Each structure stands twice: as structure tokens, then as C-alpha cells.
Structure 1
């Protein structure tokens, strides 16, 4: 709805007024910020100059302590005040270019007149400290802007429900203090505003969406009641953006009890961490902790094994189809990520309480001092009601006592006498000091026997130190042997598998039981697993089950500090991983985000319906939200990509127009004319290079050349060498930057580009049904332009589409 010239001028005048008030308050605050910073630096630099140190008498020690405490309190107070004023100044500086993006006139029932509420990225009060010139988008009243059109509306406050009517809803785009776009709307967030925002180019980092939050996204952001919030969203539906705004909302609402370091984001790769790193700071909040599940696996198991990462695993799945044992490996990957195998491990833990528990000999100086059989006898000698982890804890305490007794015995052995002759002066001095301290300062040191006994004790204790450390770390439990036992003892596994099957848990079709009641290709799976473990390697599909078994055996490590866990690309997590994270963070709430249509890893988990994820906390504490509308790509790109999916008709494109995707093919390619394949590929590379240069000239600053695998990315990078700002993205690339990025499809998840070029869209690259979602994921990274290049027969994922949704150009 258009706004009159007078209204436009009135709004501009208000913006000018608010900016004037911002500058005025900043002129008062910023000098104080600078002075406080100087004071803090000065106090730190001269801290000890202000402290009187005298330790000769007890009174002097007290005086020194009080002096230290006083100086530390002064420093702490200055730092706290500086932080508060600095945050206040930062918020005002963020508001200066665009103080707000929305306005609602809300008339509360029984009140008159309507209150004008201007909504921005943070609140700003007039000099009286009471009048809101701008309301933070996270305030309760600001929810009206996102949830209602003009008419009856209501919002929740700590004091109860407030009802009334929205008389006007106005939206702005303000840049450098000037209104560029202004309209009144009867919609939630007007399509006009979204068109303006989405028509911009992609950046090197994700942007905030506070000005364009949709009603369904606002539901995600402000959900503060569910223990588990599951968001299944179509590609480009804004689920990750909404989750990050959710973090900012929770930090704002619970600012007295929740801090950023109590929130953890599990992201798909380091590149993604860089991509989203600026969202929270732009909203005035500190970044939460960010990690990957692979990082945690390395932290816990990296000393025992070389752990395969998920990217090496997917490279194998995508590129090694013709290698021996491929079918068994893929079958094993799917089975080991299933709920069935989770229940096998849980049944195994129960079985270990009765039999099959494995221990390692305790060895000192090449002699067994506590045998594995003695350990087993001790373990099974406990009350059967004591749970497994508690038995292990009891054994640890018993073993430490046994080691102390052996230590006393060893003190008189000849080898200790031999080592006495090789002690250095420092060790003798240490023994002398200990003996003097024990007997008193005044007594002379003339007891040779006492000296020798003390030195013997020091020697033996040092030799037993590694043993004590291993016992404290529970290394007497043979967890690798326990895990191997699953693959070595066929009868044991058969029994456990039947127990898990009795629970009626689903198992992938590829892993249907064979005649022996075992998963398909089980013998091959066992041989492969054991061979890798014997080499000190742990395949990615085994890492979480192994760690889960270790925790069931030894007791789960928990983190009670973290209160919120967010998991992005959650469709790529197995039931094992979800179960593990639930136990690792027992006091947290979870936000799980994903799209099953982008499940490119073999261990994919669906996020809709009665899934393992939904069952973690039960239906009473779980909410599931499905986002169908896609905002990232133009209507033409969405209509093209959704046709690749069985249920793609459910995906709703946002009405932003653009060109149809273009398929480039080589003349003669796949036509049986004897044309050399390399010639076709070279022609396409030349055309691709020209198209990239044209896109750059047209203003595209972020271009993705998406390949199927890392190996193909290497070849593409070499072929396109010479282009400006060309970068090769690998699994360990730490940052996302502008330019032309050559990237494997599985690393491109979660990010977006102005334009996407699919390097090889032929049937040779993409033909297996298992590759459909990978291809779909690659294509849905495009915001404005999508081009596909095929030197041979086109992938069936495109060939089966309605020809009307794309155009074809033949390259000579």
C-alpha cells in the first residue's frame, strides 16, 4: 500500500530525530568508554604497585590479602562498567544507519490512543529513560509485527495476555539514515520487503533476518517451552537463520540466567562455522560455542584410533562403487547407524552384566600383577544388582588399593637398589627436603636408612605412576576388545540381534536379515571392521557406537553447564548420535534443524513423524515444525529443483522472478557421433569460464562451482585456473569468502551463492538413486542463477523433469 508524500516526509523527520538523539547519547557515553578502558589498562599495568606485600608475620599476610582484594575489586568494577557502557555504545552505533525496520500502531483494549511501536535490532530509550523510541525485535510487543496483520491481535507478557487491535503496520528499508523503501501492508511481512532483501547478492557470511522474519519462523524463534524442537525445512526455508535468531532471542529473554557459553551449535563443517559467525554479533550478542560432532569424537577417541571423518566416508560412498567390498561397506554403514544396532549395543550392555566382560592384565616390569581373569572374577563377584558402570568404579578403587600394596612390596626389590646408584643430586635434595620437613627443621639429617627408604619410595612411586594413571582412566577395561567381540563372536551377536529385533525396531531394507538371522553381508562387514581396527583405524560408522559402548561400560561423561544445544543438518545424524548427545547434555534443551531431502550421508535420519529424534524426550516435551516455503531461490529455480523430489509439490516457492535454469550440453555429446569426450568437456569448460566472467561483470560476488566429490573439485579447479578470485574448498577450509568457489556438494550444505554452476550434470556423475538428494542439494544452493553442464547424457534427475522448467543450450 503506497504512502503519501507527507507521511514519507514525517517518517524521515522522525528518523532524523532518532539519529540526532542517538548521536547525542553517544557523545556522552563514548568518552566514558575510552576513559574506563584507559583506567583498566592502567590498573592492570600497575596492579602490584598499589599492593603492599609483606609476608613476615600473620598480620602482614592479612594486610597483603586485603590490599590484593581491594585492588582486584577496583579492577573488576572498572571492567564491568566498561563492558556495560561499551555494549550500550555498540547497540547505538548499530542503530545509527537504520534505527528500525518496522512500525505498528497498537491500540490495547480499553486504552486510547494507539501506541506507535517502532521495531529495530535493539531497544533505544529517550533521555528520560522511560520512553521507547525503538523497541528491540525480541520484546513481547514486537511479536505483533511478525505474527499479525492489521486487525485484532494479542501478545504474551510476563504479566499476562494483552489484547487489542493493530491499526497500522508499516515497513521500512533505511540505509545511512535515509528511507529507501516504505509501505503499509495488510500482510505479515510484506512480499515487497522480502523482494528487496532477497534480491541482494549472497555474502561471505549469513545475514540476520530480523526485518523479514515470517510467522512460521517467529514460532521457532520464540518457542520457549519445548524440551525438543524439531524443524524440518525445505532448502532455503530459513531454518538455520531462524535458529540463530532464536539463540539471540533466548539470550535476551533469559539474560540474567543464560549466557552464550551455555549454548552449543553442532554444525556440519568448519566452513559453516565461519559462514554463520557474524549473525549473533550483528544482533549485539556474543557468539555461542560452535563445534562439529567429529571434533568431539576426535577429542574422546583420537588417542586410541585414527578416526575416519564423515567426508572421507562420503567420498568412498560416492566414488568407490567399483571397489571390492563396496556393497558390504555401504550395508555396514547403514546398519551401524540404525536404531536396530543401537538396541543391539544396549542389549550387549545388559549381557555384559552376566558374561563376556573383558579386561586387560595389569603389568608391571613385564610381569602380570593382576590378571584379566582376576579382574573378571572380581567384577562378577559383585552383587548382580549393581549396574555395570558402578561395578567398574568399585573395581577402580580396589585396584588402586592393590597397586598401593604392590608398591610397598616392590620397595625392597633389588632393581630399586640398582636405580639408587643412578639418582642425580636434585633427587637426593628432594628426599633430603622431604625428610627434614617430616622431622622438623632443627634436626640434622644423619639417618642413612631413613634416607634410603625415602628414596626407594620415590623410585617405586614414580614407576607405578603410569599404572595408577591408567587405572584412574579405567584402561583396565578392554573396550576395544568388547567392541571387536561383537564381530568375532557370531553366536553372541546373533543373540543380541534377535533381542533388538524383538523390540520391533526398523532396519534399512538394504540390511534385511539373511537366513542366519543376521544383517545382510554380515561376515564381510565383520571382516572389514576387524581389519580396520587391527590397523588402529576406526571407520566413521563405528566411532559413535564404539564411544557409546565405552560410556555405557565406564559411565557417561556429562556436561551440566550447557543449557541449549542446536544441531544443524540433523538429518545426517544417526540415532546413536542423538542418544549420545542427550546423555552428554542432560540439562539442555535441543533445537534440531534439517531437511530429509538433503540427506546426503548414508546414515540419514528422517525428522518428521515418529522418528528416533522425536522419541528422545517423548511427545509431551517435543514440538515438530515443518517449513514448506523456500525463500532462497527464484521461483524458476524452486520449480526446477522440487521436481526432483517425490514430495516436491509440497515445497512452495517465494514469488521472486528470475531466469530459468540453463543446461549446457556439448554438440555431439552422447549422440553416438564419435565425438571425443575430452573435446566436449573442453568446450564446456571454455563456456563455463565465459559464463563465470559474465556473472562477475553483472555483479555476482559469490559463485559456486559445485562438484560431486573432492577429486572432481580438484579437476575443476585446475580446469578453471586463471579466473579471478578462484578458490578450492576442502573439508578443512576454515572460512567462507566471496569469489568463485569450487566445492564438493556435501560441503556446500547450509550455504548459498548468487549463482551456482553444476560442473558435471551428466548421467555418468549422477545416476544412482542414492545420489538424487546430493544433486538436489547442489542445485538448491543457487539464489539467482543456476547453470548445469553435461558433456554426455544428462542425469536422469533432470531428464525426467518437465522440459518447460529449464532451457537447453548446445555448446559448439
Structure 2
């Protein structure tokens, strides 16, 4: 590995720095060219002008030269021109691999996008399979300045295989602030998932520190590169477990030049009503069960009644009569077609009107589509549709199910037990949709009902992170958003901390509507130190017996300590010790202990932030409730009172899973403080 030194003309490091400077200058020119575009005379109307202006604005943003973010992180020297015949003596090309494409004034590439096919060997080439690469060069940076490089001569059989020091340094670099991309450190098994096709759904089972979240985000970036026009029309969405998590990951895609991907929680997707209430565990489990979809369907279609009276349409001096038996045939046909309730209701007046037109034609008249539309709008037809197939409001339907014991029993018979029906019924029925204290699970039921009435629009691709904590009904809500698209499902069965946590990925994927998805497993740990993950893995036999433990591949062993303490003041002292190191520090504690620890930190004059709050230069400590720790990472973690973390959950297994999550948030060091005895499963 090279280190900084003299910079003569023939110094390789100096040449690479010169190429970096030239690439930055070329990027500035590309941005200036975009900013100088004049579209006043190239659009036909103001709508097109607005669309084009927005596209140019996004292009300008994507060409930003982000401070501290290297334009390129690697170089490939090919033996032969990629894609060309390997003629003897033909000289290969050199490509710099970076986060986005940069070209010079003549259009020749100075930096190749990491997603381009020619960049793939940077991640997958090896001594056993060099993929026609003579040399792979990695670059080291300090604050955006190129400071080192490291070469691998892949086509040289005498070159010994060795671990890249620069790669290790990048993996182990302190985590200050929000999550960053891993584009310079993607491993072959991760790259295979990232570059999997748009047509298929991929489920990634990955333990703590295996990079599953980063893999999912980079897959979105890759798909947008490979299928930009298609996904621009259909849209992409990243779904996270909570707002803190979304704030933590929100800078990854913009750093890769992707600005159009939406981010949301499941609660955001189903926000049809204001959520002001909460369910106990028993009610939430039943409401989250997939059987509730059957109950809702029964309750909805119970509104359809078979007609017993004919419809008589008056047009001018003539009366046209559609008999009840013919109306019944129309209704039964619509029911048999299994289309959405609302779509069938919209089709019914046209079907009745068509029956009238058939009679008109038999009588010698020549009606056209305008006559059919007019008949469909007559008061007689409207009254018949209202009586036979009435409009239903999804929120009012769910309100009645949860408030009316007889209505629920009539439609849950044979699906829910009497005890389950009792669990979901409100003890204080609400009088209206607006006054009801809806829970998050209720909002999901309303979303299901809304989809039964009117189809939910589908996106092109959805990334679902921390998926192990979703209920079957929540999976269905997400699945509705990608019925005609694909998904990337990310999670860890060992980290499921809800009473309805996923038991198997096959079961979850069935609820999602993606039974044919490929399930991949990541077991190499790049984030958590070996001693820390080994300690946390003691819990696996008790929380997920079938899962293989994560194997840390980090060279830096990190630090790990278990310390008995007497008071909150001792925990504050442990935080001070961790703050002496470079990087971020997380103090994770059971939710009920957070106020006491916050008071102790304030009394000691130690500044801290909450999860999701932006890190400031003088404040590197975050006080994290255990319930919000999932998906977050800190260089150093102080975990307060493991026994309290376990006891805060409704059952021991869920508590141990929550503890497993908290134990595995550290990147460089973990300090466990406790007054009460540690859980026996850690012995």
C-alpha cells in the first residue's frame, strides 16, 4: 500500500490526485451545462415545460460534488477491451469506478458509474476468476482527499491472495452521523443480490452487521440505473420501521445520485384515519392475522343484495322493463367475476343500461353509446344500484365490525373464535369515524377494506426493511403496493420483537403475495466486532434456533466489557469513557429507564440527542430507547441494564430478541452496565 510522499511527475499517487482534480472539474462543467440549459423555446406547452424544468432540476442536484465524498474509489485495468475480441497484443482499457458517471468535454468517461456492467469485476473479480482484469486498485481517502492506494494484480498467478487493508479501514471507519453508502466495500455475495433483476423479488435474511439494509438501498440504486424509464413511470419506495430509522438512512441514495425514491413507514402507507389509540397485545395479534381479510371481505359483500323488483326506465313515451330475474343474473355475474367491489358497482348501471338497449334494438330502434350512458344515469337505474350494490365507506365498515358484536359474529363465524372476536371488539364503541380512537392495526384493516373496494396503485419496486416485525395484515398492505412490481425484503428472524413477529420467510412472502421470491442469507458480519457478536449469539438458541450465527470478518477486534454498577451516575461515567474515542456513542436502555438516565446526563452536564436528531460537532452521544434501537448503529454503545430490556417485553422470548438487537448496535465497542443480574441465557 502506498502512503503520501514526494509528488514528482512519475509518482502514481500524484497522477491519481491529478485525475481526481480533473474529474471534479469535469463534474462542475457538467453541472454548469445543466444549469445553463434554456428550455423556453423547446416545449409545446407550460405542462411540458414544468416537467422538463423539474427533470433538469433533479439532474443538477444529482451532479452535486458532495464534500468529503470521493468521486471514485477504485480503478480497473483490463487486459483486453471489454466486449471486444481478445486479439493478441490488444491493449485493455482503464476505468475509474465511482458513485456516478463523469465525462470530459469530448464525452469520454473519466469516472464510470459503479452500477455499469464494466464496473462489476471491481466487486467480483478474484485470483481464481480475474474476469479479464489485470489490476484492481483501491483508493484511500481522508476527508475527501486521496491519500493512499492499494493494488491487486489479479491476472498474476504469483500474486498471493490477501485481505485489503484499505477495504478493512473503510469498513471499520467510525460511524458519525447518518448511515452512509457501502459502494466502495460491497462484497461479492452482496453484489449478486444488488444486481439481481427487476422482475424477481428477493428476500435477504441477514444477522446484525451483515449489511442487509445497505444491500437493499444499493439494489434500488442499481435498478434505477438499469431500468430508469420503467421505474420513473411506476415509482420506487423504501419502507422502514419508524421515522428515526428513515432519518438514519435518508442520505444513502442521494449520495449515490438518486433523488426520486420515496421513503415511508407502514403506518404512513395506511394513514386513512388519525391514529390516536393503541391495542393490547391480544387484540393486535388478532387484528394483524390474515384471517381478518376474510372477515372484511364477508362483511363488505354482505351489503350486496339480490334484486326482487324490476327496473323500469322511462324514455320519452316508452317504458322499458328489466325483470328481476335478469337483474339477478347481472349481479351474480359481477360477483362471480371477483372484481373489486367499487369496480363492480361502477359496472352495474352500465350492465342494466345495456339490457335496456338490447330491448330497444329488438323494438327496431338504433341506440348508441350516448343513449346507454343516459339510461345508466336515470333515477330508476341509480335507485336500483343503490338498493342492490350500495356504496360502502371502508372506515365505516371497520368501525361497525369493531363496535357491533352481532355484525362481527355474523361475518367472523367459522373464522375467528369467540375469544378472538371478544379481543378485537371495542369496549367503548365509537359513534363516528372521526371520534373513534383508531389503533395502528385498525388503520391496516381500513386499508384492506379500501383495497377490496378500489384497487391500490402498484409501484415498480418496493424495499421493505426490518420486515420480521410485520404482521400478516401489514405484509398484505405492503404487497398491495407492488402487485405488478417486485420487492426487496430485508430482515432477521432473530430480531423479531413484536408478538406477531415473522416465524418463517416463506410464510411472510406468501402474505406479501410473492411466493416465488428467492431467499438469500448473509452471514458475514462487517459491522459488529467478533467478541460482541459472539456474546450476543449466546441468545440465538433461545430466540431463533435454526439460524446460523453471524461470523465477524473484521480484523479490528473492537472492545467489549461487562461492568457491574451501582447507580445511573456510573452509567454516565461509562458514557464519558466511550466519548473519549472517535465516533458516535449510543446509550441504549429500556424505555422506562430513559427519563432517569436523561436526568443523570443533564445533571452531569453531558449533552445528548434523541434517535434521528442531527449530530452536532459537540454532541456525539445519543440516548436511545430500546424500542427504537433496531436498524441503528453507533461506534460505541453503552447498554444499560439488560435485565430491564428483557422484562419490559410481554414475554421472555420477545424480551431476549429485543436484547439481541440492543447488544448488536456497536461498531467498535460495547460496554454493558448492570445492577441487576444478567439474564441467565447470557451465562
Fold agreement, TM-score > 0.5: yes
Structure 1: which 5+ residue stretches go unaligned? Answer: 44-65, 155-164, 314-328, 356-376, 400-467, 499-517, 667-679, 801-812
Aligned partner of 2:634 in structure 1 is: 753
How much has 1:688 moved relative to structure 2? Answer: 1.7
CA 491–380 in structure 1, closer or farther in 2 if over 3 Å, else same:
farther
Given that 1:763 and 1:793 are in contact with CA atoms closer than 8 Å, whether structure 2 keeps it comes out as no
Q: Residues 243 and 765 of structure 1: is their aligned pair in 2 closer, same or farther, counting only changes over 3 Å? A: closer
Match of 2:585 in 1: 703
| Aligned positions of 1:211-226 closer than 5 A | 211-226=184-199
CA shift, 1:234, in A, is 0.7
In 2, Cα distance between equivalents of 1:607 and 1:239: 17
Match of 2:64 among 82, 86, 90: 90
Give matches, 1:270-349, under 5 Å. 270-298=243-271, 300-302=272-274, 306-308=275-277, 329-345=280-296
How many residues get paired?
A: 602
CA RMSD of aligned residues (A): 4.2
Cα drift, residue 523 of structure 1: 6.2
Q: Tell me the residue number matched to 1:778.
A: 662
Q: Secondary structure at the match of 1:643?
A: helix
Quote the offset at 1:645 in angstroms: 0.6
| Secondary structure of 2:643's aligned partner | coil
**Contact 1:102–1:211 (CA under 8 A) maintained in structure 2:** no
Shift of 1:235: 1.1
- Once residues 752 and 294 of structure 1 are traced to their aligned partners in structure 2, the CA distance between those partners, rounded to angstroms, is 23
The answer to whether the 8 Å contact 1:760/1:789 transfers is: yes
Distance in 2, matches of 1:698 and 1:597, equals 30
| TM-score, normalisation: structure 1 | 0.65
- Per the alignment, residue 525 of structure 1 pairs with 423
* Larger radius of gyration between Structure 1 and Structure 2: 1
Are 2:224 and 2:231, in contact at CA under 8 Å, matched by a contact in 1?
A: yes
- Aligned equivalents of 2:633 and 2:240: distance in 1? 16
Pairs within 5 Å for 1:244-283? 244-259=217-232, 262-283=235-256
Moved more, 339-348 or 199-208: 339-348
After superposition, where does 1:194-593 map in structure 2 within 5 Å? 194-259=167-232, 262-298=235-271, 300-302=272-274, 306-308=275-277, 329-345=280-296, 383-387=331-335, 474-475=392-393, 478-480=396-398, 482-484=400-402, 487-488=405-406, 492=410, 495-497=413-415, 518=417, 521-522=419-420, 524-527=422-425, 529-531=426-428, 536-552=436-452, 554-556=453-455, 558-560=456-458, 562-593=459-490
Using the TM superposition, give the Cα deviation of residue 24 of structure 1 relative to its aligned residue in structure 2, in angstroms: 5.1
Task: Give, in angstroms, the shift of residue 659 of structure 1.
Answer: 4.5
**Larger helix proportion, structure 1 or 2?**
1
Residue 184 (structure 1) aligned to one of 152, 164, 177: 152
On the 8 A contact 1:106/1:117 being kept in 2, the answer is no
SS in 2 for 1:90: coil
2:231 partner SS? coil
Q: Structure 1 residue 728: deviation in Å?
A: 3.8
Which residue of 2 is the match for residue 133 of structure 1? 110
Aligned residue number for residue 642 of structure 1: 537
**Matches of 1:96 and 1:727, distance apart in 2:** 25
Q: How far 1:20 sits from its partner (Å)?
A: 4.5
Distance in 1, Cα, partners of 2:107 & 2:67: 19
| Equivalent in the alignment of 2:561 | 662
Instruction: Supply the distance in 2 between the matched residues of 1:127 and 1:95 (Cα, whole angstroms).
Output: 25
Which residue does the alignment assign to 2:594? 713
CA pair 703-384 structure 1, distance change in 2 beyond 3 A: same
Aligned match of 2:520: 625
Check the 8 A contact 2:76/2:133 in 1, yes or no: no
Distance, in Å, in 2 between the alignment partners of 1:4 and 1:245 is: 32
Equivalence for 1:120: 98
C-alpha displacement at 1:793, in angstroms? 1.9
Instruction: Summarize deviations over 1:647-678 as a string: whole Å, max 9, x none.
Output: 46432112333355322224xxxxxxxxxxxx
- Deviation per CA, 1:343-402: give whole Å up to 9, x if none: 5555666777689xxxxxxxxxxxxxxxxxxxxx99989623323876666768999xxx
Structure 1 residues 719 and 13: alpha-carbon distance in aligned structure 2, compared to 1, 3 A threshold? closer
Q: Distance in 1 between matches of 2:537 and 2:283?
A: 31
User: Residue in 2 aligned with 1:794?
Assistant: 678
Q: 1:545 to 1:274 in 2, by over 3 A?
A: same
Aligned-residue offset at 1:542: 3.5
Q: In the TM superposition, what whole-angstrom CA distance separates every residue of 1:281-308 from its partner, at most 9, and x where no partner exists? A: 211221411111112322x133xxx444
| Distance apart, 1:616 and its partner CA | 4.4
- Measured after TM superposition, the shift of residue 249 of structure 1 is 1.3
Structure 2 equivalent of residue 601 of structure 1 = 498
Partner of 1:21: 22
Q: Secondary structure at the match of 1:385?
A: helix
1:202 deviation in Å? 1.2
Report what 2:575 is aligned to: 692
Cα shift at 1:476 = 10
Mapped partners of 1:748, 1:486: distance in 2: 39
5+ residue gaps, structure 2: 155-159, 307-324, 350-385
SS of residue in 2 equivalent to 1:531? coil
| Of 18-27 and 71-80, the range deviating more from structure 2 | 71-80
Deviation track 1:584-643 (CA, whole Å, cap 9, x = no partner) reads 4433211111111111112212453x3231564555x42111111121111111111112
**Mapped partners of 1:764, 1:3: distance in 2:** 46
TM-score by length of 2: 0.76
Distance 1:541 1:73 in 2: 42
Q: Deviations over 1:163-204 (max 9, x none)?
A: xx3333332213444333424276999452332013221122
Does the 8 Å CA contact 2:26/2:104 hold for their aligned counterparts? no
Aligned counterpart, 2:134? 167
Is contact 2:394–2:446 with CA below 8 Å preserved after alignment?
Answer: no
Following superposition, the deviation at residue 569 of structure 1 comes to 0.9
User: For 1:65-76, what aligned pairs fall within 5 Å after superposition?
Assistant: none
Alignment partner, residue 653 of structure 1:
552
Moved more, 198-207 or 530-539: 530-539
The alpha carbon displacement at 1:4 in A equals 13
Q: CA deviation at 1:579?
A: 2.1
Distance in 2 of aligned mates of 1:662 and 1:95 = 33
Q: 1:539 to 1:94 in 2, by over 3 A?
A: closer
CA contact (8 A) 2:468 2:492 kept: yes
